[in-house]
């Protein structure tokens, strides 16, 4: 079973409660849920948050919108992911971030189809997040904020074997994607059908107030969450919206 875990918390210091700030009167994380729920690959979509009191409101909003939610450790994100996957009997995990509201079902299906067809341990659409890989050769990179990661639950469970190692990336899955000799990984480029997303110096992630304002501008233009990535790119080019890193 393949499940998408939306990793989120409300205790961000740079932009508190960012995951539930509203876009067209709908919480950002619910807009993200709506954008990915048309995926042909997914069996489940679950918000994966912490047991901290600060995330009680996130649980309330998830319940109001009939979105499954799992709560686990705040700091140990991989432990939270594994326990969530175990509860929902997921053999494979799609991981996205709650502050990346522009991810859509086409990206989910693009990465997951490659993952299954090539029988990989880990697959992602590459961006500037992957410093170690980018040092080895040039890639046509997606913008930051559209990253979809797909990996085996059994591989995720191996994270404790690597806790004493140091990695370039601080992401919880770094032990997988920085270990090509151990795991079968693939990094998909922004080309062919996704050539229009070869925008390595842009970010669609929401970490600061001005970034949220840019994303809100995009959603308000379409008056809905139901717009394509190509329509979105055409809009930001037409309006010259500054999304540079």
Q: What is the mean pLDDT of residues 86-108?
A: 98
Q: What is the mean pLDDT of residues 55-84?
A: 98
pLDDT at 97 over 90: yes
Q: What is the mean pLDDT of residues 34-52?
A: 98
Categorize the per-residue pLDDT at 164 as very low, low, confident or very high, splitting at 50, 70 and 90. confident
pLDDT at 232 over 90: yes
Element holding 97 (H helix, E strand): strand 92-97
Q: Per the structure block, which two tokens stand in for 13? A: 């210091």
Query: pLDDT value at position 81?
Result: 98
* Beta strands 44-50 and 2-7, pairing class: parallel
Q: Per the structure block, which two tokens stand in for 238? A: 């037409």
56-83 as b/e: b if 16+ CB within 10 A: eebbebbeeeebbbbbbeeeebbbbbbb
Tell me the percentage of the chain whose pLDDT exceeds 70: 100
Categorize the per-residue pLDDT at 231 as very low, low, confident or very high, splitting at 50, 70 and 90. very high
- CA angle, corner 103, sides to 59 and 170, nearest 5? 75
Tell me the per-residue pLDDT of 12-32, one tens digit each, with 9 for 90 and over. 899 999 999 999 999 999 999
Tell me the per-residue pLDDT of 178-214, one tens digit each, with 9 for 90 and over. 999 999 999 999 999 999 999 999 999 999 999 999 9
pLDDT at 237 over 90: yes
Q: Per the structure block, which two tokens stand in for 40? A: 């042909």
Query: pLDDT value at position 46?
Result: 98
Tell me the per-residue pLDDT of 151-161, one tens digit each, with 9 for 90 and over. 999 999 999 99
Tell me the per-residue pLDDT of 99-145, one tens digit each, with 9 for 90 and over. 999 999 999 999 999 999 999 999 999 999 999 999 999 999 999 99
Class of domain 2-239: alpha beta
């Amino acid at each position: 079973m393949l499940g998408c875990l939306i990793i989120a918390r409300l205790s961000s210091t740079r932009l508190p409660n960012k995951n539930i700030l509203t876009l067209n009167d709908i919480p950002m994380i619910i807009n993200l849920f709506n954008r990915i729920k048309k995926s042909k690959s997914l069996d489940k979509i679950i918000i994966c948050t912490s047991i901290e009191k600060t995330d009680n409101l996130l649980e309330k909003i998830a319940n109001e919108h009939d979105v499954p939610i799992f709560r686990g450790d705040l700091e140990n994100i991989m432990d939270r992911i594994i326990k969530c996957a175990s509860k929902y009997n997921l053999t494979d995990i799609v991981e996205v971030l709650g502050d990346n509201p522009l991810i859509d079902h086409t990206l989910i299906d693009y990465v997951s189809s490659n993952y299954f067809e090539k029988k990989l341990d880990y697959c992602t659409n590459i961006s500037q997040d992957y410093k170690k890989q980018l040092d080895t050769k040039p890639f046509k990179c997606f913008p930051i904020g559209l990253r979809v990661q797909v990996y085996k639950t059994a591989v995720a469970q191996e994270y404790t074997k690597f806790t004493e190692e140091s990695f370039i990336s601080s992401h919880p899955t770094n032990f997988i994607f920085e270990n090509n000799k151990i795991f079968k990984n693939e990094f998909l480029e922004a080309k062919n059908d996704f050539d229009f997303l070869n925008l390595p110096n842009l970010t669609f992630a929401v970490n600061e107030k001005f970034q949220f304002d840019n994303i809100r501008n995009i959603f308000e233009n379409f008056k809905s969450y139901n717009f394509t990535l190509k329509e979105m790119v055409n809009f930001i080019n037409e309006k010259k919206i500054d999304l540079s890193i």
